[in-house]
A and B are shown apart, each in its own frame.
Chain A
């Protein structure tokens, strides 16, 4: 009975299997990038960039309709422009980075919604805002998997410079010329994975599968490799849980996935060693000095 509820949806329905594959790919690609986003204190920056993808994807949609290629390329271009632009604004004006990012993403989402409504039906708008994880076609699935593959290889290659860039950028600049490569390479990965998440979860929630599992994992473990592994596991479990909830309770899949991740995050926040109550539950006596 329970087994049936857990496995039957996936064995019986192809769209569920596709959604599951999409979630696995997202967990493997987007979530590790999310861990670094969080550790670089760029969580909100990721959110702003996710919104920034919208006008680009919307322009692609305006020109070619619901075409995967056009929306992907539009999204990637818009994301890269904002990723580079936001840093530029913060450096060359008196606005702090948070203000310039807030301005960016408010404008982006307004522009994006406006463009989609110019041509589209409300259904298309919903698709763009909330994704369509239950309707992934071959092309979308290939795109998401390809981005995750590229991400894993790129993270493996950039791992050491990226870690140094995060916690001691001045040292990295002193010993090596890879600092800009680590910084901008990472931003490109963020944009790619946001576009990937955009197809499955929509522009509003793409960041969710990056940041929520990362934040939950951070509360449990201290070492970075363990954190990456745990975050991936949490992201995948959220994917499975969200899909099952969506199937059985007939609720939208994208928000369900993010909500499951959110529940895991809230539980971690309460119980984990780094959380709010967890640290106080440790009643063991202190050690010899």
Chain B
């Protein structure tokens, strides 16, 4: 890892982070540090704590223990939640929805300048949605809606991007286009964390990988992390849930 003096060593530093609901940990004593410009796949079975981790990073969930530090450029972080969290029956056009990516510039009151409107159209073109400006979001297919969400994220111009299962229920052609966008963002030096289930995809495009099963089962180069043994352990660990689990007494030092 290249240690540069001018930049912080890590965009994201997780320090013995434990997250959960009702005292049951969903992420248990997680420590790792994400370097600037890293492209990291977060992999693990359902219930492994991947979405929980993102919720904590966006400030929606307070840690049960430990902490994390973020050193992001002014653009801050952009978070793409799972698709189900968007109400598609709401009457709003694709253009209006995507233009909200400029929130940091226009805030709650200001209108779009001509150049900003141009940027919205450019973002729509970049995701292959030219001509869809006036369509209602309810008329889009799942893949088209995901393209629109990527366009909006593009306009947010963030330095740390969190993508939660961005390719769920998306066809191969769309995934190909969207992955190309992610790789572009990576080339621009942005730091990207993406929750993914398609291990083939991870191996092909993501240099680094964090394998989660409540505990971290490895963080580093993808080929080292995604071994059959570790994946089998991940499956076993994630399915266990002990209603009467004892209080965890793991000391801070051992976990770090």
Task: Identify the A interface with B (CB < 8 A).
Answer: 39, 157-158, 160-161, 163-164, 166-171, 173-176, 178, 222-224, 227
Query: How many of chain B's residues touch chain A, expressed as a range?
Result: 20 to 34
B156 and A175 form a contact (CB under 8 A):
yes
Is B79 close to A, CB under 8 A?
yes
B156-177 contacts to A (CB < 8 Å): 156
Tell me the nearest residue of chain B to A158, going by C-beta.
B108
A160 to B88, CA, bound (A): 17
B91 and A168 form a contact (CB under 8 A):
no
Report A282 CB to chain B, min CB distance, Å: 15
Is B93 close to A, CB under 8 A?
yes
A167 to B232, CA, bound (A): 39
Report B82 CB to chain A, min CB distance, Å: 9
Q: Which of B79, B86, B109 sits near A167, CB closer than 8 Å?
A: B86
List chain A residues, Cβ under 8 A from B58.
173-174
Q: Which of A39, A160, A174, A223 has the most C-beta atoms of chain B within 10 angstroms of its own C-beta?
A: A174
A167 and B108 form a contact (CB under 8 A):
no
Q: Which of B79, B93, B107 sits near A174, CB closer than 8 Å?
A: B79
Report B64 CB to chain A, min CB distance, Å: 19
B108 and A166 form a contact (CB under 8 A):
no
List chain A residues, Cβ under 8 A from B79.
170-171, 174
Report A180 CB to chain B, min CB distance, Å: 12
List chain B residues, Cβ under 8 A from A170.
79, 81, 85-86
Task: Identify the B interface with A (CB < 8 A).
Answer: 58, 60, 77-79, 81, 85-88, 90-93, 97, 100, 103-104, 107-109, 136-137, 152, 156
Report A39 CB to chain B, min CB distance, Å: 6
A168 and B85 form a contact (CB under 8 A):
yes
Report A275 CB to chain B, min CB distance, Å: 16
A170 to B58, CA, bound (A): 10
List chain B residues, Cβ under 8 A from A160.
100, 108-109
A sample of 20 more A-B contacts (CB under 8 A), given A39-B90, A168-B86, is A39-B91, A157-B108, A158-B108, A161-B108, A163-B90, A164-B100, A167-B86, A167-B87, A167-B88, A170-B79, A170-B81, A170-B86, A171-B79, A171-B86, A173-B60, A174-B79, A176-B107, A176-B108, A178-B108, A223-B91
List chain A residues, Cβ under 8 A from B156.
175
List chain B residues, Cβ under 8 A from A168.
85-87, 97, 100
A222 and B60 form a contact (CB under 8 A):
no
Q: Which of A158, A166, A174, A178 sits near B90, CB closer than 8 Å?
A: A166
- A selection of 24 A-B contacts at a CB cut-off of 8 Å is A39-B90, A39-B91, A157-B109, A158-B108, A160-B108, A163-B90, A163-B92, A166-B87, A167-B87, A167-B88, A167-B90, A167-B92, A167-B97, A168-B86, A168-B100, A169-B85, A170-B85, A170-B86, A174-B77, A174-B78, A175-B103, A175-B156, A176-B103, A224-B91
A157 to B136, CA, bound (A): 24
Contact A227/B91 with A168-B86, A170-B85 known, Cβ cut-off 8 Å: yes
Tell me the nearest residue of chain A to B90, going by C-beta.
A167
A272 to B107, CA, bound (A): 36
Report B92 CB to chain A, min CB distance, Å: 6
Q: Which of B103, B104, B108 has the most C-beta atoms of chain A within 10 angstroms of its own C-beta?
A: B108
A157 to B109, CA, bound (A): 7
Tell me the nearest residue of chain A to B55, going by C-beta.
A170
A168 to B83, CA, bound (A): 10
Report B81 CB to chain A, min CB distance, Å: 4
List chain B residues, Cβ under 8 A from A222.
91, 136
A39 to B137, CA, bound (A): 14
Report A162 CB to chain B, min CB distance, Å: 9
List chain A residues, Cβ under 8 A from B60.
173
Report A111 CB to chain B, min CB distance, Å: 34
List chain B residues, Cβ under 8 A from A227.
91
Q: Which of A166, A171, A173 has the most C-beta atoms of chain B within 10 angstroms of its own C-beta?
A: A171
